[in-house]
Structure formats: structure tokens, C-alpha cells
Structure 1
Amino acid sequence: MDEKDIQILTAIAKEGTASPDEIEDATGIPKSTVHYRLNQLRESGVITNDLYDIDLKKAGLSITLISEIWAEFEEGYHESVGEKLAAVEGVNQVYFTMGDTDFVAIAHVANREMVESLVEDYEAIEELERTSSKFVITTVKDEQNPLNDFEAETLIEALAK
């Protein structure tokens, strides 16, 4: 992958589109080049389907880091600290949780330097008391669409009114 491929993948993610016209508008890369690059990304397995899901490992973001985070308790801290965690570059998901841990943050990074940078960014958040981060060794399941985890009948029973 090169800079243009990364610009295209970033546009897909940020703009929520797979339209070559919209990708061209967002990146300035000519539509014909966008078409060609999208085909190459599909053939190499970086883009895995027509929904433009991305295989993070093939894209170079092969390290999944799961961090448990403890913060100072004060009124509204779940919102203010949660927003600060969500703003850390590389953090993809932030959950305010019940139990011993205040937050869980998930990040996908390329290398140890990015892990170190992420941890430094966590440490710069004044309200954080401590963190505990874990590397994922093997992904057993990573379903992008939670609806796929249920039978249609179960969803109808739970959600239909």
C-alpha cells in the first residue's frame, strides 16, 4: 500500500462511502485511479467485500490493544474522561463500564511505537489513575455487524413492536 491507497481507505472510513465520485472529491485522486486502486485493494484482500470492510491486518494495523482504564470519580466524569479517551489518536472504541474498571478502550495500531504513543496519550489525561493494556494474540471472532449474531426470529421477538 502507498499514500494514495491510504487516502482512499481513509476517505471510505471518514465519508462512509464507496462511491468513486465522492472518494475523488474527498481525496483529489482522479476517479479512474480510484477505481483501479479499489480493485487492487479488493484483489489483495485489504477490502474484503462490497461494503468496503477492511482487513486491518492486511492494511498494516495488525496489533489490537485492549486497555482497561481507571479514572478519578467525580460527577460527569464518564462523559468528560470518555470524550478525552475517544479523542486519543488510534482509539476506535471506548466503553464506560460497570464493575472494577471505569472504561475499556480498543485500538488497532501498526507497531510498538504506536502502542507507546497511545499509552503516553492515556497518561496525559489528568483524571486517569491507571491503565492496564493487553495485546490480542489471536482474534477468535470480530463480527462487524452485530445483527449477524442473532437468528432473525430472535430479533423479531426482541425488537418488533
Structure 2
Amino acid sequence: MDEKDLRILKTIASERINSPERIHEHTGIPKSTVHYRIEQLREKGVILNDLYEMDLSKVGLSIVLISEVYAEYEEDYHESVGERIGEIEGVNQVYFTMGDTDFIVIAHVTDRRMVEDLVESYESIDEIRRTSSKFVITTVKNESHPINDFEHETLVEAILEE
């Protein structure tokens, strides 16, 4: 994997495109090179399917970090603090939750240094009081399309027959 591969993967993810011609337009990498690189990334298992889903561990983002973030309560803090957490480089998902924890934050990182940088970034937000982070050891299930977790009949009953 090199800089061109990363530019192609970043374009696929950020622009949500998968055509070599459109990737070429965004990156300036020749279309034939884009096509060849995509095929190589498929063979290496980085690109998993025709939806261009990626195996993040093969890109180098092998550590999944789940952080509980505790913030000081203020009116509408969930919006302002949540947005600031979401703007931190490396943060993939931010959830405002009920209960003792204010936010659950998911990040995919390369190493412990990135973990430390993320935690420092969280704690640099004035309203954040403390964090508790955990590393994922084994991913048991990671369904990118949650609709697949339901039988068709269940969805019909729950959504269409209300």
C-alpha cells in the first residue's frame, strides 16, 4: 500500500464513488492506474465487495477504540460538545446517550500514540470531565447495513403495518 492507494481509498470513502473515471477526476491519478490499483486492493482483501466496503485493519487502522465521555451538564451541551468531539480527527461515530455516560465515541486508529492523541483531544474540550477508553480485542460482528439484521417479515410488521 502506498500514497496513491490511500488517495484512491480516501476518495472512495469521502466522495462515495466507485467508478475509476470519477476517482480519476477527483485524484488526478490516471484512470488505468486507478482501475489496476482497485483490482490490487480487492486481491489483497482491502476492498471487500462491489459496494467498496473496506477492511480497515488492512489499511492500517487496526485498533478500534470505544470511549465513554463524561461531560459537564449545560443546556444543549449534547449538541455543542458532541459536534466538537465529532470534529476531532480520527473520530468515526459519536453517540449522545442516556445514563451515566454522556457520549460514546468510536474511532479506528493505527497505534497507541493515536489513542493518546485522541484522548488528549477529548479532554481538551472544556466541558469534558473525564473519559474511559477500551480497545476492541476481537470483532464478533460488524454489520454495516443494520437492515440485514432483521427478517423481511419483521420489518414489514414493525414499519409498514403501524
**Scaled by the length of structure 1, what TM-score is found?**
0.98
What is the CA deviation profile of residues 44-69 of structure 1, one whole-angstrom value per residue up to 9, with x for unaligned ones? 00000000000011111000000000
Q: Specify the alignment match of 2:59 in structure 1.
A: 59
The equivalences for 1:32-43 within 5 A come to: 32-43=32-43
Q: Specify the alignment match of 1:126 in structure 2.
A: 126
Specify the SS of the correspondent of 2:46. Answer: coil
Q: Specify the alignment match of 1:6 in structure 2.
A: 6
Q: Supply the RMSD in Å over aligned alpha carbons.
A: 0.7
What is the CA deviation profile of residues 63-103 of structure 1, one whole-angstrom value per residue up to 9, with x for unaligned ones? 00000000010111000000001001100000000000000
Specify the SS of the correspondent of 1:120. Answer: helix
4+ aligned runs moved over 6 Å, structure 1: none
Q: Specify the alignment match of 2:15 in structure 1.
A: 15
Q: Specify the alignment match of 2:82 in structure 1.
A: 82
The equivalences for 1:92-111 within 5 A come to: 92-111=92-111
Deviation, 1:8, is 0.4
Instruction: Please identify, of 34-43 and 16-25, the stretch whose mean Cα deviation from structure 2 is larger.
Output: 16-25
Separation in structure 2 between the aligned mates of residue 76 and residue 21 of structure 1, nearest angstrom: 44
Separation in structure 2 between the aligned mates of residue 117 and residue 44 of structure 1, nearest angstrom: 30
Q: Specify the alignment match of 1:158 in structure 2.
A: 158
Aligned identity (percent) is: 68
Separation in structure 2 between the aligned mates of residue 4 and residue 36 of structure 1, nearest angstrom: 11
Q: Which amino acid aligns with 2:121?
A: D
Deviation, 1:124, is 1.1
Count how many residue pairs are aligned between Structure 1 and Structure 2: 161
Deviation, 1:9, is 0.4
| Residue segments in structure 1 that go unaligned for 5+ positions in a row | none
Separation in structure 2 between the aligned mates of residue 128 and residue 33 of structure 1, nearest angstrom: 46
Deviation, 1:17, is 0.7
**Scaled by the length of structure 2, what TM-score is found?**
0.97
Separation in structure 1 between the aligned mates of residue 151 and residue 51 of structure 2, nearest angstrom: 21
Q: Specify the alignment match of 2:45 in structure 1.
A: 45
Separation in structure 2 between the aligned mates of residue 28 and residue 139 of structure 1, nearest angstrom: 36
